Amino acid sequence: MSDQKLWERLLRDSSQSKRVREGNLILVGRKGSGSRALISSLQKGPGSLGKNTRFTQLITPDDPEPMSCPLQYSYINSKDINDPQSDKISKVNIYTLELPELKSLLEFALNAKTLDKTMFGIVLDWEQPWRFTQDLEMWIDIWHEMLGKVVSSLPLEEQDSLIKSVEDYVKSYRDPESTVEIPENLQDIPLAEGVLEVNMGVPIMVICCKSDLVWSVDKNRDQNERILDIALKTLREFCVTYGACLFYTSSKNNANIGVIYDYIMHRIYNFPFKHKSQILTRDQIFIPSGWDSTSLIKQTDYLGNEKQFQDYLPKPKNRVTQKEEIATTSDQDFLVQMKGKLENAVKDSGKKISFIVNKPAVGGEITLAPVEHAPEPVARGGSQIKLQEFYQMLLEKGNKENRDN
């Protein structure tokens, strides 16, 4: 390639990148849920950052997490998913939050001007499936709160436009091989019962990472099947309510990594999407937004349909260790014990110190005989004698208080 053609290509790619706006992906999930491995797989695979250098490989799951980075940042390159030879056209910024206590940091990732190019993802962990329901409720409440602050600052027309965009997508979605025609006027099509009951104006994804672990949630095979069924049912019901899509991904097996990248490009840049829904392969579930409905969920013959998810997979109980009780003594008894120990220590050091601790009289007093010190105590014996005198002073003080009372 001549220098002139190379220069022309660089100029063309540069001008094209400026025309295509950047997208934003906000991921939330507990620490260790798998978001770092997911981003790393996207960067190495379909959203490749190019040559593996310290400037392009922004994040890897094995890298130590920076202590001063509560809101992590990375990005993936945006490409035309229908053109295998496509160069980078833009990028998708990825913001990751792991601590719900720092939810206010999401304000730095949200921009009212780029909400139409923004997606939100809740990352769940198949290593801790008993947290699914709790995490979904917690993160969606946080997202509703933080997004509401930004959306409320927009004019009503722009708010309606965001809500309409999500609603129209749910109404118009068809599997790639579907022959059902999409009506021109989507306003005439009502939403199915229970579908998109909560429309936040931003596409939502539920990403269940480490799906390679679905086969070993429970040692009992039949019980494991019931858990997977009720988990999928619970996740589908949540996604239908919020118009979200559902992914089971595994960075270890590269499951659904390419599909989730294509879906992100499809929702942000409106590229045609060619992947069908998948609900049969246990570790590669994919249900796009608009495909599912409450009627389809009811038609599915799930095992253990009469029970809740928590009934099959309760949270493991924490081990409770019995604490040893420590008996306490009164101040006077403690001082008497210490004087006894000092007496033994002084005798061992060869000092001739004799004292008598008489039993408490009727008035509760403790009397002490005179103490004879050695004429020239060595360093160790001298320190013991000083301690003895200190405790003797405390005892005399206690006796005086008893007499006064």
pTM, 2 dp: 0.72
Whether residue 125 lies inside any domain: the answer is yes
pLDDT digits (tens, 9 = 90+) for 79-104: 988 887 778 889 999 999 999 999 99
CA–CA distance, 91 with 95 (Å, rounded to integer)? 13
DSSP characters for 293-345?
Answer: -HHHHHHS--TTTTS-HHHHSPPPPPP-PPPPP-----HHHHHHHHHHHHHHH
Residues 298 and 371 both lie in one domain = no
Residues 266 and 359 both lie in one domain = no
pLDDT in the model for residue 388 = 72
Structural domain total, the chain:
2
Whether residue 16 lies inside any domain: the answer is no
Residues 231 and 291 both lie in one domain = yes
Give the contacts of 213 (CB within 8 A, at least 6 positions apart): 126, 127
Residues 253 and 119 both lie in one domain = yes
- Which DSSP category does 205 fall into? E
Residues 158 and 26 both lie in one domain = yes
Share of the chain above pLDDT 70, in %: 72
Give the contacts of 137 (CB within 8 A, at least 6 positions apart): none
pLDDT in the model for residue 377 = 47
Whether residue 323 lies inside any domain: the answer is no
pLDDT digits (tens, 9 = 90+) for 147-185: 999 999 999 999 999 999 999 999 999 988 888 888 777
Residues 196 and 344 both lie in one domain = no
Residues 253 and 365 both lie in one domain = no
Of 350 and 290, the structure prediction assigns the larger pLDDT to 290
Domain with 173, as residue range(s), is: 21-312
Residues 243 and 363 both lie in one domain = no
Whether residue 41 lies inside any domain: the answer is yes
pLDDT in the model for residue 50 = 57
Whether residue 175 lies inside any domain: the answer is yes
- Mean pLDDT, range 334-348, rounded to an integer: 72
Give the CATH number, domain containing residue 216: 3.40.50.300
Of 236 and 366, the structure prediction assigns the larger pLDDT to 236
Whether residue 354 lies inside any domain: the answer is yes
Residues 174 and 71 both lie in one domain = yes
Whether residue 93 lies inside any domain: the answer is yes
Residues 281 and 342 both lie in one domain = no
Residues 41 and 130 both lie in one domain = yes
pLDDT in the model for residue 176 = 87
Does residue 303 carry a pLDDT above 80? no
**Residue 141 half-sphere exposure toward CB, CA atoms < 13 A:** 8
Whether residue 108 lies inside any domain: the answer is yes
Residues 178 and 294 both lie in one domain = yes
**What angle is formed at CA 202 by the lines to CA 251 and CA 246, rounded to 5 degrees?**
35
